Structure 1
Amino acid sequence: MAIVFSIFLLLQVASLSPKQISGSVTDTKGEPVAAANIYLESTYEGTSSDADGTFRFKTRRSGTYILVVQALGFKLFKTEIDLDNPAPHYDIVVEEKVSSLQAISITAGVMEASDESRAVVLKPIDVVTTPAAMGDIVGAFQTLPGTSTVGNDGRLFVRGGDASETAIFIDGLKVGNAFGSTAPNVPARTRFNPNLFKGSFFSTGGYSAEYGQALSSILALKTVDIPLRTQTDISLMTVGGGIDHTQVWENTSLIASANILDLKPYHLIIPQNFDWERSPYGLDGELSLRHKLGSNHMVKGYVYTERGGMSLWSDEGLGTQTELIELDNTYTYAQTSGRFLLSDVILRGGLSFSDNRDDYLIEDFNFDTRHQLYHGKLVADKIFTDRFSIKTGLESTITDYEEDYRTEDVRRHYTDYQYHAFAEADFTISNSLVVRGGLRAGHSSRANQSWLQPRGSFAFNLPGNNGQISMAGGWFSQSPQPVFRALQPNLKQQKSQHVIVNYLLSKSNRTFRVELFHKNYENLLQYEGQRFRYENIRQDGDGFARGLDMLFRDQTTFSGMEYWVSYSFIDSQRKYAGFSERVQPSFAPRHNGSAVVKKFISPLKSQLGISLNVNDGYTYTNPNQPGEMNARTKPFANLSLSWSYLPRPNIIIHVASSNIPGRDNIFGYDFSPSQEPGGGFDAIPIRQTAPRFIMLGVFITFSGDKNANQLNNL
C-alpha cells in the first residue's frame, strides 16, 4: 500500500496558496549559501535554500512578518516583509560568523533525505518518483551506495549486514517489525506510507550515540508537521484503493486514512511464478494528529494498524511434494512525541509501542508469535557557546516476546528491560573543522549485561571550496533476535566496530561522494538446525565487511532532467548461523550498482522515470561441490520504468513496471535433501514472485483550491 501514499505526497505538498516568497541567499563575496533556513518568524512556514542559494515557498498568511534567515557559519539575518505585497525577489546577503557552531556538516556514513542539510543526496520527493521503489521507502534507498538489493527479501541490507542489523526510527522512536510479515522468498515492504514523512536520516555506519541496537545501519524518518490545507485524496489501483482526509485548523491538523489491498484480481490477470492459494491481502488505517503549542512547541500523535495475510503452496523436495503455508498477521504501531524550546535548551522525546502477531499454519504444523516493543526517550540539546554544544539523553525499551507451538504444546516467553544513557558533544574549532565525540551506555535485564560504547567523528572543509573530508567510527551492539533469546536467556550483545572515511563535493546542484569503510563483527550467533529446531546456540561467530561506495548526482546539466549513479564494492566475510567458517553471505553481493533518471516533459504534463539496479549475483552452497557458499547465481538486473501524467491539475495517472525485459533473476537454489540414485543433489531455482510487477493507479485530490497545480512536484 505504500505506493498509494507515495503518490498522495505528490498531490498534497503542492497545494499551496498563491503568495510566493522567493529570492536568493549569498555571502559577502557573492557566493551562494546552500541549506540556509528561511522562514517567517513565530511560524512553521519556510524552506531551505538550494545548492545555488535560491529559495521559494508559499504562504496563506497576510500582513507584516519578519523573514528570518539562518545559515550555518553565518550571522542571523532578519528583515521585515509585507505579505500582502511581497517583492518579486529578495536578495539576501549574510555575514560569516567565524565561531558559529556546526559551520560544516559531518557526512561520513550519513545520507540525509531532506532540505535541512548540506549533505542532501535524496529529497523526500525522490522516494515517490524512483521507478524501482514502487512507492516503498526502502526501495528508494536501495538505489544509494552501501545497500544491496535482495529481490526475494525486500528489506534493507547495508554494507554486508543482515537486514535485522538495520534499525528504523520514526521521530527518534524505534519501530518494531517495520516490515510487513511475509512467507519465505516473498519480498516484504515497509508498512508506512511515504507521505507521512518530510525527510530522513540514513546512516550506513558510524552513527550518532543517540541511536543503538543496530550493528550496521539506522534509518531515522522525520514526520511532517502541520499540512498547509484541508483536502481529501482518493486512490484507485490495480492492487486496491484507499481514501485519505486531511483537516487543517490554525494550530492543529488531523489526517485519517483507510486502505484495502488485494492482489487476487491482479494475479488472475498477470502470470505468477508462485502457486498462490490466497493472494496477499490486507486492510489498514491510520490517524495522525499534530498540534502547535505557541510558536516554539510541537506535539504529535500517530496510530497505525493493519491486518492481512496470504497462503501459497511451497515446493519441497524439488517440487515432488508441496506444502501449504498460511499466514495471518495483525500489527499496531502507536507513538506520541514532542519538541519544546525552553530558553536555550531544546527538549524532545516521546513514547512508542509496536505489537506484531503472526499466526502460521504449515501443513499440520501450527504456531504463532507475538512481539511487543515499548520505547521511551528524552533528549536535551543545549548550545553553551558558539563553539560548543552537547546532546544528552535517556531511553528505555521493553521487549516482550512469546511463541506458541500449538501442535507440539510448546510455549516460550521472555521479557527484557533495557536502559540506555548517551551524551554527545560538538566542538567547532574553526569554520573548516568540527569534531564530535559521544558515549552510549546500556544494560539488559535478560542477559544481565552492561556495556559502554565510545563514538567519534570529524569533518574538515578543504580550501578553495573543493569539498570536505569526514571520518567517523565507534563501537556498536545489538541484542540477538527474539527467536534465539526465547531459547537461551543469557545471550549477550552482538558487537561491531566501524571506521569510515568520506569525501563529499557539492557544487551547482551536482554532488559527488566517495566513501571507504571497514567493519568488524564479534559475538555473532552460531547454531545447528533451522527455524523451529535450533540447537547448540552459541556466540562464537565473527567477521568483517569492507569496501568502497561512490555516488554522483546531477540536477543541472540537462534541462528538466536529473539523474544519479551509484556503485558499491562490498567484501564481506562472516562466520555465523550454521556455517563452520567465514563465508560471503548470500545477501552481500560484491559489486552493486544503480542508476536513476527522471525527465519532466512540460508539453505532455508528464514525468518519465527509469531506474536500473544490478549486482554480480548471490552466493549459495552447492552440496555437489566441497565447501560452504561455494557457488554464485548469475548477475541480478532490474530495469524499471514509470510514467506520471496529469490530465487535470488535481488528477494523476501513474503507471510503473519493474523488470521491463522480463529477466529471469535467480536468488539461489533449493537442493534435494538426499542424493539421487545416480549421485548428486538435484536443485530448483529460487525465483522472484513474477517476471515483473506492473502498477496502474489514478489519484484524485479534492480541496477548496480546485486550481492547485501538481506539475512542479513531478
Structure 2
Amino acid sequence: MKKLFVYIALLFGALVFSQTARVKGVLLDEFNSPIENVTIKTNQTGTVTDATGFYMIEVPANEEITISYTHVSFKKTVIKVNLKPNEDFEFNPVMSSKIEQIGEVIVTGNSKKRIEGVTSIDPVIIRKIPGANPGIENIIKTLPGVYSNNELSTSYAVRGGNYDENLVYVNEIEVYRPFLIRSGQQEGLSFTNTEMVQNVDFSAGGFQSKYGDKMSSVLDITYRNPKRFRAGLDASLLGGSLTVEGVSKNTKWSNITGFRYRDNSLLVNSQETESNFRPRFMDVQTLLNYNASTKWQWSFLGNISQNKYHYQPLSRQTNFGTVNEPIALLVVYDGQEKDEYLTMFGAIKSVYQYNEKNKLKFISSVYHTKEQEYYDILAQYRLGEVDANIGSDTFGDVVYTRGVGGQLTHARNDLDALIFNAEVKGFHELNKNTQVEWGLKYQHEDIRDRVVEWEVIDSAGFSLPNPLLDYVNDQPYNPYIGPLAPFFSSRGTNFTKVNRFQGYAQWNYRGEIGSSQYWLNAGVRAHSWQVQTQIENGKAQFAFSPRVQFAIKPDWEKDMLFRVSGGVYQQPPFYRELRDSSATVHPNVKAQKSYHFVVSNDYSFKMWSRPFKLVSEAYYKMMTDVNVYTIDNVRIRYKADNNAEAYAYGFDARLNGEFVPGTESWFSFGYLKTEENYNNKGNIARPTDQRLKFGLLFQDYMPNLPNVKVYLNLVYNTGLPGGSPSYADPYDYQFRLKDYRRADAGFLYVFKDESIKSSKNWLRSFSELSLGLEIFNLFNNQNAITNTWVRDVYTKSQYGIPNYMTTRVFNVKLVARL
C-alpha cells in the first residue's frame, strides 16, 4: 500500500510538472538585426537569446505569468500571458534603443560590435551586390585595409598580410582554404553559403583574444536559425543555388540546407587564352538545430564539396609594348590539366545555458580533404614585332619574329589532409559591468602529401638550365657544359602530423570616467604545438599572446567613440608554412610574430536627416620571425626559415550610410606600406605591398520606376610587386604590376520583395522575385595577375608579358524566394 501511494504521488507530481507551456520567438532591433544576450525572466525561470536572437522559455500553464525582456542597450519590454498546457506562444518583439539611456550616453543596438572595432555587413547586401565571384569575400574586398587583384578568387590580403593569415569562422567553427589551389579560377566556390547567412562580422586587426592565432584578420559568420518554412532559388549563367529551411511542429527541430553549383566557363572564356574548359564546382551544406530544453541547444553543421577542374588551353595572343614599337606574343598549346578536390566537413556544437549569467559551449569538428593536381601542358611561343602601319595589308600581324621557344610543365601532386579538433568555451557574467570568457582547444592534423612537379624551358632551340644553379650559361656563343637539369623541379613525399593545444582567457569591463563611459577588454592566448614527420620529430614549441582593447565614449553632443587596441598576434605554422619550394617539410619552423597597434575613431552622425557613420583607423604592425614567401596567382611558396623581419603601417577610412534613402552604401579608402628584410639584405616591398585602395559600394533605385534597382561595386588598387619571375631573387627584381581597376554593375527588376508589394495572383506565393542583368568589368579594364617571362636569345632581353584577367562579361540572374 505504501509503494502504491508513492507511485500515485510520483504520477501526480509528474502530471503537475507537465502542466507547462512554452513562449518562444526572435528579438530584433529597429534595423531588423537579431539581439544577442537579451535576458528573459519570469518569477520561476529565465533564459537569454542566442546569436540569432532566438529564445524559448517554459512557463506554468493556466495562470497569469509576467515575462520581462531586458538588455543594457534597449528599453525594457514586459508582457503577460496565460497559456493552456503544452501551448506554444510565439512573441517576436522589436526592442527600441531610442529611449533607454545610461547616464547621458545613448547606446545603440550595435554598441558591442562598435566597441570591439568589428564591421558588420548586412547579408542582404552580400546577396545583391554583383561580382565575378559573388559572396561574402566579394563584399569584404570593398572594405578598407582589404586588398585583392583577382576577381576569380575568394582570397584576400589584409593590411600587408597574405591569404593564409586570415581567420574564418562559421558558427564559431574554423574553416580552411584548399591546399593545392594555384589559380583563382580553380577555386569555384567559397565555403560560406551566402543564402544561409544571418550575421557577418569582420575585423582587420587588433581583435580580441577569443579569436585564434592568425596575424591579420578575422571573419566571423553566423548561419541562420530557421523560424518557419522558406525556400529560395538563385540561377544565372554562372550557376545557381537552392536553399530550403523549416522547423518541426514542436519547434524543437529546425534545419536549413543549401545546394550550390558553379561554372566559371563564362568568365574564363573571356580571357585571352582560348581553351576547352569543363569545370564542375558543387557543394551541399546543412545546419540542423535541436532545442533539447531552454538550457540545452545542439546543432550539426555539415558540408560536402566537390570541385572538378578540367582545362585544355588551345592558343593565346597578347599584344604589348608601345604605340611606336608594338610587340606580340603568340602561343600554341598542347596538353591539358585535370584537378579534383573533394572536401568533407562536419561539426557538432552544444550550448548549455545553466543560468542567465553563465554559459558553456562544446564544439567538435572534422575536416577531410583529398586533392589532386595533374597536368602536362606544352606551350610553343613566338615573339615578334607587329605591323603598326595603318592601311597596310598586314596591319596588326606579326611581320618579324624576334624569338621562338617552348615551355613544358608537368605535375602529379596529391594531398590527403585530416584535421580534427575539440574545444570548450565558457562565458560568465560576474556583474552588470564585468564578464569573463575562456576556452580550451585540442587539434590534430594528419597530412599526406606527394609533390612531383617540374618545368622545362626552351628558347630558340637551347634548353635553359635552372637559374638557381651556379653555372655560367651564355648560349649560343659558347656551349653549355653544366649539368642537365629542368628549369624548375620540386619533388617530395611527406607524412606530417601536428598536435596543438590552445587556450584563451579574457576579461571585459565597463566603467565610467566622470560622465563618459569606457570599456576595457584584456586577454591572453596560449598555443603549444609539435610537428612530426616520417624523417624527424620537431621540438615542442609554445606561443604566448597578450592582447588589450580600450574604448571610450565621451559625454559629447556628437556621437563619437575612440578606441585603442593592440597586442601580440602569433601564427604557429600550418602545413603550407612548413613546406618550402622544393617540397621539403621543416618541422621546427617557428611561429611568426606580429605586434599590432591600432588607433581608431567611430563617428555617427546625420546628414540629409539620414544616418551615416565615419570610421577611421591608423595602424602599425611590427613582425619578427617572418616566413617570407612568393605569390604566383594565389599560390604561396614559403622559405620556411623564419629569417626575416617586416613592418606594415597605414591608414583606413570608411564612410557608410543612406546616400539614397532606405539603402546602405559606402566609400572606403586605404593607404598601406609594408616591407621586409630577409637575412639583413635590406628592406624591400613585400608581395602584398598594395599602396592605395579605393572601394565603392553603391545602391540606388529609379524614383519613377521603383521596381528597377541599381548596384555598383567599384575597386581600385595600386599595383602589386608581383611582376617578377617566379625563380628570381626578389632583391634583383622589384617590378610592379599595373593598377587593378574593377567595376561591376547590376540592374535588377523587382517584381516583389519587402519594399515592393504586388496584388497579382501569380506573385502571391513569392516573398521575393526579381530578374536582373549583371555586367562584370563594366569599363573592360585590362588587369594583370602575373607576368609570363619570355627571353629573346639574340638580344638577351627578357620581356614580362602580362597575364590578363577577365574582360567585360554579361550575366543574367533570377532570384525567387517563397
Whether TM exceeds 0.5 here: the answer is yes
Matches within 5 A, 1:415-454: 415-430=497-512, 432-446=517-531, 447=538, 448-454=540-546
Q: Match of 1:384?
A: 430
Change (3 A) 1:535 1:240: closer
- Cα deviation digits, residues 49-73 of structure 1 (max 9, x gap): 9xxxxxxxxxxxxx99967554436
CA distance, structure 2, for counterparts of residue 513 and residue 169 of structure 1: 24
Please give the residue correspondences for 1:586-601 in structure 2 after superposition, counting only pairs within 5 Å: 586-601=687-702
CA contact (8 A) 1:99 1:428 kept: no
Partner of 1:337: 349
Contact 1:74 1:96 (8 Å CA) reproduced: no
Is the 8 Å Cα contact of residues 154 and 184 (structure 2) preserved in structure 1?
A: no
The correspondence for 2:371, drawn from 349, 358, 361, is 358
Structure 1's 375 and 554: CA in aligned 2 closer, same or farther, altered over 3 A?
same
Query: Counterpart in 1 of 2:119?
Result: 112
- The 1:130/1:575 distance shift into structure 2, 3 A limit, reads farther
Q: For residues 570 and 473 of structure 1, do their structure 2 counterparts lie closer, same or farther at Cα, with a shift above 3 Å needed?
A: same
2:573 aligned with 1:480, yes or no?
Answer: yes
Displacement of 1:460: 0.6
Moved more, 235-244 or 540-549: 235-244
**1:687 aligned to 2:804?**
yes
Q: Which residue of 2 aligns with 1:199?
A: 199
Gaps of 5+ in 2: 1-24, 54-61, 83-88, 319-328, 377-409, 454-489, 532-537, 580-584, 752-762
Whole-angstrom distance in 2 between the partners of 1:20 and 1:77: 13
Which shifted more, 495-504 or 446-455?
Answer: 446-455
Amino acid of the structure 2 residue aligned with 1:488:
H
Report which stretch shifted further, 236-245 or 81-90.
Answer: 81-90
Q: Provide the rounded CA distance (Å) in 2 between the counterparts of 1:209 and 1:84.
A: 37
Deviates further, 494-503 or 616-625: 616-625
Quote the residue 1:10 is aligned against.
none
Is 1:677 the equivalent of 2:684? no
| Cα pair distance change 1:354/1:24, threshold 3 Å | closer
1:5 aligns with none
Q: Secondary structure at the match of 1:445?
A: strand
8 Å CA contact 2:522–2:548 kept in 1: the answer is yes
Q: Which amino acid aligns with 2:643?
A: D
CA distance in 2, matches of 1:687, 1:497: 36
Residue 556 of structure 2 aligns to a residue whose secondary structure is helix
Alpha-carbon shift at residue 206 of structure 1 (Å): 1.3
Question: Residue 464 of structure 1 corresponds to which residue in structure 2?
Answer: 556
Aligned counterparts of 2:47 and 2:167: Cα–Cα separation in 1: 33
Contact kept, 8 Å, 1:441 with 1:450, in 2: the verdict is: yes
Aligned-partner Cα distance in 2 for 1:48–1:451: 34
Structure 2 equivalent of residue 641 of structure 1? 745
Cα deviation, residue 700, structure 1: 2.8
- Corresponding residue for residue 209 of structure 1: 209
Which SS does the other structure have where 2:142 is aligned? coil
Change in 2 beyond 3 A, CA 1:244/1:207: same
Residues 314-323 or 511-520, more deviating: 314-323
- Do the aligned partners of residues 592 and 21 (structure 1) sit closer, same or farther apart at CA in structure 2, a change above 3 Å counting? closer
Distance 1:470 1:656 in 2: 39
**Residue 666 of structure 1 aligns with which residue?**
784
Q: Secondary structure at the match of 2:161?
A: coil
- The answer on whether the counterparts of 2:144 and 2:654 sit within 8 Å (CA) in structure 1 is yes
Partner of 1:562: 664
How far apart in 2 are the matches of 1:100 and 1:89? 14
**Percent identity of equivalent pairs:** 15
2:270–2:808 CA contact under 8 A, matched in 1: no
The answer on whether the counterparts of 1:274 and 1:312 sit within 8 Å (CA) in structure 2 is no
Aligned equivalent of 1:502: 600
CA displacement at 1:240 relative to structure 2? 2.7
Please tell me whether residue 369 in structure 1 is matched to residue 415 in structure 2.
yes
Q: 1:484 to 1:552 in 2, by over 3 A?
A: closer
Instruction: Go from structure 1 to structure 2 and tell me whether the alpha carbon gap of 1:561 and 1:683 turns closer, same or farther (over 3 Å shift).
Output: same
Q: Cα 1:80–1:24, aligned 2, differ >3 Å: closer, same or farther?
A: farther
1:472-513 deviations in whole A, cap 9, x for unaligned? 101111133414525111111111110000100123421111
CA contact (8 A) 1:109 1:204 kept: no
CA change 1:428–1:483 in 2 (3 A) is closer
1:387 and 1:437, CA in 2 relative to 1: closer, same or farther beyond 3 A? same
What is the alpha-carbon distance in structure 2 between the residues aligned to residue 306 and residue 89 of structure 1?
A: 40
Equivalent residue of 2:138, what SS? helix
The more displaced of 82-91 and 136-145 is 82-91
What SS class does the counterpart of residue 605 from structure 1 fall into? strand
Please state whether the residue corresponding to 2:346 is helix, strand or coil.
strand
Structure 1 position 347, deviation (Å): 1.0
For residue 276 of structure 1, report the CA deviation from its aligned partner: 3.3
What is the CA deviation profile of residues 356-414 of structure 1, one whole-angstrom value per residue up to 9, with x for unaligned ones?
A: 22111121531211222222221111111222221111011112211123689842111
For the residue of structure 2 that corresponds to 1:554, the secondary structure is strand
Q: Is the 8 A contact 2:374 2:412 kept in 1?
A: yes
Unmatched tracts of structure 1, length 5 or more: 1-18, 26-32, 50-62, 114-121, 703-714
SS of the residue corresponding to residue 798 of structure 2 reads coil
Indicate conservation of the 8 Å contact 1:380/1:391, yes or no. Answer: yes
Q: How much does 1:600 deviate? A: 3.7
C-alpha contact 2:451 2:493 (8 A) present in aligned 1: yes
| Distance verdict in 2 for CA 1:610–1:496, change over 3 Å | same
Determine which of 496, 516, 519 is the counterpart of 1:414.
496
Q: Does 1:616 align with 2:718?
A: yes
Counterpart of 1:545 in structure 2: which amino acid?
Answer: A
- Following superposition, the deviation at residue 676 of structure 1 comes to 3.0
**Counterpart amino acid of 2:561?**
Q
* Change in 2 beyond 3 A, CA 1:359/1:258: same
Q: Could you tell me how far apart the structure 2 residues matched to 1:350 and 1:130 are?
A: 33
Letter in 1 for 2:665: Y
1:423/1:340 Cα in 2 relative to 1: closer, same or farther (>3 Å)?
Answer: same
Decide whether the 8 Å contact of 1:102 with 1:428 is kept in 2: no
SS of residue matched to 1:631: coil
Superposition CA RMSD, Å: 4.2
> Which residue does the alignment assign to 1:251?
252
By how many angstroms is 1:441 displaced? 0.9
The structure whose RCO (Cα within 8 Å, separation 6+) is larger is 1
- What is the CA distance between 1:521 and its match in structure 2? 1.3
Q: Greater Rg, structure 1 or structure 2?
A: 2
Deviation at 1:693? 4.1
Deviation at residue 469 of structure 1 after TM alignment: 0.5
Offset from partner CA, 1:239-266 (integer Å, 9 cap, x none) = 23443322322221122333333344x4
Aligned to 1:306: 305
Which one-letter code corresponds to 2:252 in the other structure? N
Distance 2:565 2:271 in 1: 45
| Greater Cα shift, 234-243 or 166-175 | 234-243
- 1:321 to partner: Cα distance: 6.6
CA offset digits 1:389-442 (Å, max 9, x no partner): 211110111122111236898421111010011110012222611111101111
| Gap change, CA 1:205 and 1:553, over 3 Å in 2 | same
Q: Is the partner of 2:641 in helix, strand or coil?
A: strand
Report deviation, 1:350: 0.6
Shift of 1:90: 8.4
Provide the rounded CA distance (Å) in 2 between the counterparts of 1:331 and 1:258.
15
Using a 3 Å threshold, how does the CA distance of structure 1 residues 377 and 37 change in structure 2: closer, same or farther?
closer
Cα 1:388/1:568, change in 2 over 3 Å: same
2: CA distance, partners of 1:580 / 1:91:
57
SS at match of 1:618: coil
Give the Cα separation in 2 of the matches to 1:585 and 1:389.
Answer: 40
Which residue, out of 552, 556, 571, partners 2:655? 552
d(CA) in 1 for partners of 2:730 and 2:180?
A: 35
Structure-2-length-normalised TM-score = 0.71
Give the distance between the partners of 1:354 and 1:283, measured in 2 at CA: 17
Q: Are 2:102 and 1:96 aligned?
A: yes
